[in-house]
Amino acid sequence: MNPLIEFPKTPFESLDFNKIKPEHFMPSVLHWMDVSRKRIDVISTNSELPSFKNTLIELEFSTEELNIVSGCFFNLNSAETNDDIQKIARELSPKLSLFHNEILLNQKLFERIKEVWNKRNDLELSSEEHRLLKESYEGFVRNGALLQGEQREQLKVYSEKLSKLSLSFGENVLKETQDFEYHAANTEQLEGLSAATVEAAKSLAQERNKEGFVFGLDMPTYMSIMKYSNSSKFREHFYRAYSTRAAKDNEFNNEENIKGLVNTRHSKAQLLGFNSHAELTLHKRMAKTPHTVLSFLNDLKELAKPAAQKDLKEVQTFAAEHGHQGDVMAWDFSYWSEKLKKAKLELDDTLLKPYFMIENVLSGVFEISRKLYGLSFKKNVEIAVYHSDVDVYEVYDSNGDFLSLLYTDFFPREGKRAGAWMTSYRSMSAKETKVIRPHVSIVCNFTKPTVDKPSLLTFNEVTTLFHEFGHALHGMMARGTYPSLTGTNVYWDFVELPSQILENWCYEPKALELFAKHYETGEVLPKEYIDRIVESQQFMEGYMTLRQLNFGYLDMAYHNLNSPLESSIAEFEKYATSDTQLFEPLEGSISSTAFSHIFQGGYSAGYYSYKWAEVLDADAFELFKEKGIFNKEVASRFAEILSRGGTEAPDQLYKKFRNRNPSVEALLKRAGIAS
């Protein structure tokens, strides 16, 4: 039996990971593609006049099972991949791209959608139904439904090529990250590192049957070394390794993948009638145009760059006063800024980590969700998981009704890509009389517990957990009918609002008191530490803002081109980011070759959305600050943003919440970089 074709009976219709094997994916995807094709054929050849019900609703649910199976596959390819899964991905991705193109270029199907669209003003559609019709019609047009003949075939070629290139890009980054190993035979090189980092390196050495200590390039290890290693040469070694991933002269070099992705995206956009990939992408964003994005980045840069230069000068002065010779280099900045933070605020990660045991932080975000939205969480050990690190929680609303399943996966391991993300295994929908509740997952790479110590988070990791949990709330609290409009299925520059706003509670004393407790004594984080955390919100914010803008400019430079990219990636990156660089470029260092957000994830022409959403989250949180961070009335209004998903336009949803358009002033005030 294939558990992805004949779904076993499980709690809450969860996926039975105990039975799912790599060999099940290809047959199940092909099966559900065939089933979906037959359903779409029935819609396309229906002799009845096209209606919202027999065309739009039927189409919306025609790929229901395929979406679940393919979603499961690609989630595992990110969180628990192996050679078998990666091999399947290389074959499966182009097949799925072609399948989706078949739908989008199905002329009979489009004609039926178009007919419903043309008579939309005569139909008595609800706002949600109208939204589905609008997004469906415009989605078909934007994906080539108006193309004819050879142009249609060319679009299919482009889509298949993009799918393959994106996969190859991600595989190369993962391989380069996981292939790195630094073997330290003694403790002399480890001066300054935390006991937890050293213990983790010792455990990794034992796993690999080596003496001493082995360090990888996973994010917790890398950041720990950059912040705390007393050896500049040691930090430089790791910095060079990290910043040259997939940029070396070997089989995992991503430069040709980048050129292929950029130029194929550009060609596809032009085929569809747009000047650039950015223009095509931003057509369905709050920002609307590349000009708006670039103006937004430029306005922030005018304030952030002087603040960033001031931050760097302060770090340089402090480092010189404490024995550093010469300029502060890129691999020195985190180390000396952390020391400055400790001296200035009497605050550092080693001081705070004992108060942020991961179990307490998770309980804290659960309690904050209860106070705001009435949610409750119940761990379920019976539901199958894809790895022993994963936990599952049943989530209930304030009425005690089942809301969602939440999977949590917190620790790095082989076969898991770096970073942190939220994803879905099943979207919320309502089909006839059956309401289908979502299954969502948050995936992170935090420091693993050891034999002697639990997992203790840095403050940055605490905010990361809150960030991803904000996305999860967006998915779990979804209310609606059509899966393509529920949960996080919103415009890309709006999707970060629910995640980023939740980070604000990490800086609030009343919230911190709920979960910031010493893992050994149970002592609540002292008030003076909380005051310093609040003060730290502005520490090096100019530098961090300019760094984000640097990535935003680089993304737009690649995707707002109106001619093919021909120069070397290193030269292009240097030119695109010259006005946001604070350090001299390091020979061989290229951030583009591991810029997975835009070349593997969904952030192409969208990286600006992090700062865009910061404007929204700072402005929205101002209302909580005014009324109280657990104010039920404000939380109820924000819950509308979380629950409505993409059923309404984001600017309308935000205006309903705030009773006005967003203002940038709150962000500038919070960051301490106001003019």
DSSP-derived secondary structure for 21-32: -GGGHHHHHHHH
Give kind and range of the element (H or E) at residue 183.
Answer: strand 182-184
DSSP-derived secondary structure for 536-583: HTTTTHHHHHHHHHHHHHHHHHHHS-SS---S-HHHHHHHHTGGG--S
Asked if the model's pLDDT at residue 188 lies above 80, the reply is: no
Nearest-10 crossing angle of helices 569-576, 541-559: 130
Distance separating alpha carbons of residues 631 and 625, to the nearest angstrom? 9
Query: Is residue 358 within 8 Å of 456, Cβ to Cβ?
Result: yes
Measuring CA to CA, which residue among 199, 236, 229 is closest to residue 339? Answer: 229
pLDDT (mean) for 159-173: 94
**If pLDDT is split at 50, 70 and 90, which confidence band does 174 have?**
very high
233-280 per-position pLDDT tens digit:
999 999 999 999 999 999 999 999 999 999 999 999 999 999 999 999
**If pLDDT is split at 50, 70 and 90, which confidence band does 187 have?**
confident
Query: What's the fold here for domain 354-541+610-671?
Result: Neurolysin; domain 3 (1.10.1370)
Asked if the model's pLDDT at residue 352 lies above 80, the reply is: yes
412-421 per-position pLDDT tens digit:
999 998 889 9
The three-state secondary structure class of 85 is helix
CATH 2.40.340.10 fits 11-104+106-146, yes or no: no
Report pLDDT for 244: 96
Measuring CA to CA, which residue among 296, 316, 385, 204 is closest to residue 583? Answer: 316
Of these ranges, 178-187, 533-542, 637-646, the one predicted with the greatest mean pLDDT is 637-646
Give the type of residue at 372: L
Report pLDDT for 380: 98
Report pLDDT for 172: 96
pLDDT (mean) for 24-41: 98
**If pLDDT is split at 50, 70 and 90, which confidence band does 196 have?**
confident
61-85 per-position pLDDT tens digit:
999 999 999 999 999 999 999 999 9
Query: Is residue 246 within 8 Å of 180, Cβ to Cβ?
Result: no
Report pLDDT for 406: 98
Give the type of residue at 405: L
Question: Which neighbouring-strand residues pair with 435?
Answer: 430
- Domain borders along the chain are 11-104+106-146, 180-243, 354-541+610-671
Positions marked catalytic? 468
DSSP conformational letter for 379:
E
Task: Show the CA angle centred on residue 371, arms to residues 368 and 375, nearest 5°.
Answer: 85
Query: Is residue 513 within 8 Å of 524, Cβ to Cβ?
Result: yes
Distance separating alpha carbons of residues 420 and 496, to the nearest angstrom? 13
Asked if the model's pLDDT at residue 404 lies above 90, the reply is: yes
- Give CA separation, 285 vs 59, 168, 288, 292, 501, in Å: 24, 27, 5, 11, 19
**If pLDDT is split at 50, 70 and 90, which confidence band does 432 have?**
confident
pLDDT (mean) for 518-547: 94
- Among 109-118, 460-469, 577-586, which is the least confidently predicted range? 577-586
**If pLDDT is split at 50, 70 and 90, which confidence band does 355 have?**
very high
What's the alpha-carbon Rg for the chain, to the nearest Å?
25
Q: Please report, rounded to a whole number, the percentage of residues in the chain having pLDDT higher than 70.
A: 100
Nearest-10 crossing angle of helices 64-79, 25-44: 150
Report pLDDT for 675: 60
- Among 115-119, 344-348, 654-658, which is the least confidently predicted range? 344-348
Asked if the model's pLDDT at residue 204 lies above 80, the reply is: yes
Task: Show the CA angle centred on residue 644, arms to residues 468 and 126, nearest 5°.
Answer: 160
The three-state secondary structure class of 425 is strand
Distance separating alpha carbons of residues 597 and 605, to the nearest angstrom? 10
Query: Is residue 667 within 8 Å of 621, Cβ to Cβ?
Result: no
**If pLDDT is split at 50, 70 and 90, which confidence band does 660 have?**
very high
Average pLDDT over all residues of the chain: 95
Query: Is residue 243 within 8 Å of 230, Cβ to Cβ?
Result: no
Measuring CA to CA, which residue among 307, 223, 291, 243 is closest to residue 545? Answer: 307
**If pLDDT is split at 50, 70 and 90, which confidence band does 477 have?**
very high
Look-up of token digits 């600006």: 608
Please, what is the end-to-end C-alpha distance for the chain in angstroms?
A: 65
Helix then strand count (H, E) for the chain reads 27, 9
- Would the pTM count as exceeding 0.95? no
The three-state secondary structure class of 423 is strand
Give me the phi and psi of 546, to 5 degrees please: -65, -35
**If pLDDT is split at 50, 70 and 90, which confidence band does 422 have?**
very high
Residues 6+ apart with CB under 8 A from 171: 86
**If pLDDT is split at 50, 70 and 90, which confidence band does 185 have?**
confident
The three-state secondary structure class of 378 is strand
DSSP-derived secondary structure for 284-299: TSSS-SHHHHHHHHHH
Encoded tokens for 379: 């761990």
